[in-house]
Chains A and B, each alone.
Chain A
């Protein structure tokens, strides 16, 4: 059933509406109304019956299955409203989303199996097990990614049927908006560290933009002889933030839509590869510099979804590694750092696209009279979901700053909202895999584009990102909490 799309609504604005709705409902706990306590939160388990529990104590009688069913219906209802606003086929969306939700959640439950997730000897004793892969509960995200990847490549018809609900960018934007509230609490509690992270993130991004783009553009033009029409979106896709940047740049220089499409398909595949490799490299070599590792994920991994997903996995792995050494870092700071870096990147996409549009229209392909560049184009390309993130961050930050008595109820509220943030993370991982059809790499003509991507990403972007992260974040550590 198709419905007419709402005028002016975009996926960005939709993320703002859904994210703020969940955030607002979570604030009910501040005034004694537990509106989201039914949210199904996975627990580390050895008996399947204990794998899921409602987040709020008042909802305990629901049991795991009841909570899971209510959570599914709640998220489905929210997204169906969103799909209706976007003019999607509601029936197809509902069917596809149902499959995406349950498959994703099953992966999450699998990742929380004690033999996979437990990280400390004390917990092994608690669950009565003698060994564990020590991958943390976040391994459920990676299992979801691999499941999506398997479906995309081994069962393409199934992947095609699920595509209506495969919207990783929408899911991650909703998650980021909810995350804003959690970061607001942390910032209020550690204002010095929070402002330091923000400044360092800003500095790292300025450097990455200026160095990455120029080098990748030069390599594409000079070494691989790409035309300007191909080289500019390719440089933005590899160097900045994947799909959004490639599309914004293609539009800015008036490239044909097919250029952005081809570059975007590469970005999605390579982002998935980065997501599978970089967090493990980070925990191997940077577990003593957790914030460097976190910023590195933000600078090196393309697309919001994959980058923040990498930040989440990196945080889980490094926290577990540190805990094994007797160091207990406060959770959330690494993910907050990756998110901060990524948010700055997103904000700058519009500015960079405007600069390119200015150069192209003025010097390379002057536009005709009446078709001049407008400063309003910066706003048109501004990622609107950032407004949602800033709003949730500031609301919680300012309330918590106003009085210490608000911190505890706000923390409880954000804890419940966080369950939905994790669910949207999970959906992001699964659908990133679902869209990563690696056979595209063998598509006619894409080999040369892929060659530029491989050379620049693995030969330059990842390592310069690491260097920049090291310069600005080495020596900065998350707060230590008592063991």
Chain B
């Protein structure tokens, strides 16, 4: 369940008092892209391109101008 924004804001206030977050963000260790991440990105974009053609065609066929 998504938290309401005020709760998030409260957590953020608490987070402000954790100085190690800034340090952590500056010192994130290098994590090279794993093959599965590359696959996820590639498949997502590839599927997007294929579906773009399919959906444009379907839109034209179902709802002609």
Contact = CB atoms under 8 A, between A and B. Distances in A.
Q: Is the interface of B mostly helix, strand, loop or mixed?
A: helix
Interface string A340-357: 000000000000000000
Given A214-B40, A445-B21, A207 B12 contact: no
A444 B22 contact: yes
A196 B63 contact: yes
Contacts of B65: 475
Contact of A207 (B5, B19, B37, B51): B51
B51 A206 contact: yes
A211 B1 contact: no
Interface in B1-40: 1-6, 8-12, 15-16, 18-19, 21-26, 28-31, 33-34, 36-37, 40
A380 B31 contact: no
A120 interface: no
Interface residues of B, number: 45
A163 B8 CA distance: 11
Interface string A425-440: 0000000000100001
Contacts of B5: 166-169, 243, 264, 268, 435
Which label, helix, strand, loop or mixed, suits the secondary structure of the A interface? helix
Contacts, number: 139
Given A11-B4, A163-B6, A203-B59, A363 B36 contact: yes
Contacts of B55: 203, 206-207, 472
28 contacts: A12-B2, A163-B10, A169-B2, A169-B5, A170-B4, A203-B55, A206-B48, A207-B51, A210-B44, A210-B45, A210-B48, A218-B41, A221-B37, A227-B28, A227-B31, A228-B37, A244-B2, A247-B3, A247-B8, A248-B2, A257-B11, A258-B18, A364-B34, A435-B5, A444-B19, A445-B23, A445-B24, A472-B55
Interface of B: 1-6, 8-12, 15-16, 18-19, 21-26, 28-31, 33-34, 36-37, 40-42, 44-45, 47-48, 51-52, 55-56, 58-59, 62-63, 65
